[in-house]
Amino acid sequence: MFAIRLEGVCVGKRENTDDFILKDITGQFEQGSMTAILGPNGAGKSTLIKTISGFLKPIQGSITIADTLKNQLSLLPQLSEIDRSFPITVYDLVALGAWRRVGAFRGYSQQEKEKIATALEQVGLTAYANQLIGTLSGGQLQRALFARLIVRDPQVFLLDEPLTAIDEETEEQLVQIMQGWYKAGRTVMAVLHDAALVQRVFPQTLLLASEVVAWGETSTVLQEENLQKARRLVLRGF
């Protein structure tokens, strides 16, 4: 069964089809799949994630979310999009994951507090709970954002460059968390740049270069001829 289906999705400036960032994206992410979205810089990877999550609207085409998964999508933005000067503690950032269940004015139940504490422990940030997020390293902040997702507990994870600008230890920790979501039957989509890591970890890959170059099993998609085609398509667009 599909989780998200895309049909002829185009994103960009309406007045000029040549300026579309995404062109005729058609395909589907299956429920319970773990898919890397890979491609050269300028391929439209982050644009695709933001469009699926609803932050951007397609100019053409449609995106269909399975009925059972509506309101079950959560986006992890790029670290560069997080305002680290905002005066919020690590604990409160992670606790935002419970917002849809708790609401704006209710206090956290003991059950919710236990979920927050467990998430902080899972990412190794228990000792940092009362620190402001501006004091964290890039890797620590990314772990805090993953903890927020753990508390949110969605069925579909949309991760925009979750492994960028972090150390190897944090990368391995976050990879294990993603694999845990996948083994639990959740749907995981992640924008990535490291083809070797994708081959090691992700069963499915969407190779993007403004258009779909290949989409399917990672071992089939990451053939050299497909990678070369992706590079040619992106260079042609500049």
Per-residue CA distances from 69 to 2, 187, 188 (Å): 10, 10, 13
Percent of the chain with pLDDT over 90: 88
* Torsion of Cα atoms, 160 then 6 then 216 then 157, to 10°: 30
What's the rounded mean pLDDT across residues 207-236?
95
pLDDT, tens only, 146-155 = 999 999 999 9
> Could you give the 3-state DSSP secondary structure of residue 230?
helix
Q: Which two tokens stand for residue 141?
A: 């902040």
Beta bridge partners of residue 9, listed in sequence order:
25
pLDDT at 15: 63
pLDDT band at 238; cut points 50, 70, 90: very low
Percent of the chain with pLDDT over 70: 96
Class of domain 1-72+157-238: alpha beta
Write down the pTM of the prediction: 0.94
Residue count of the chain, please give it: 238
Please compute the mean of the pLDDT values over residues 86-94 and round it to a whole number.
96
Residue 16 has pLDDT above 90, yes or no: no
Starting at the edge strand found earlier in the chain, the sheet holding 60-65 runs 22-30, 2-11, 60-65
pLDDT tens across 95-129, in order?
Answer: 999 988 886 666 788 999 999 999 999 999 999 99
pLDDT of residue 234: 84
Question: Does 161 have pLDDT greater than 50?
Answer: yes
Q: Please give, one letter per residue, the 3-state secondary structure of 90-119.
A: HHHHHHHHHHHHHCCCCCCCHHHHHHHHHH
Domain spans, the chain = 1-72+157-238, 80-153
Say what the pLDDT of residue 237 is: 62
Structure token pair of residue 224: 């050299």
Largest CA distance in the chain: 56
The 10s digit of each residue's pLDDT in 172-186 is: 999 999 999 999 999
What token pair was written down for 108? 């956290």
Paired tokens of 94:
């992670």
Strand partners, 155: none
**Tens digits of residue pLDDT in 21-35:** 999 999 999 999 999
- Collapse the DSSP code of 205 into the 3-class scheme (helix H, G, I; strand E, B; otherwise coil) and give the result: strand
Q: How far apart are CA 24 and CA 11, in angstroms?
A: 9
What local confidence, expressed as pLDDT, does residue 100 receive? 82
Structure tokens at 56: 């951007």
93 has pLDDT over 50: yes
Give Cβ neighbours of residue 179 (< 8 Å, ≥ 6 apart): 34, 201
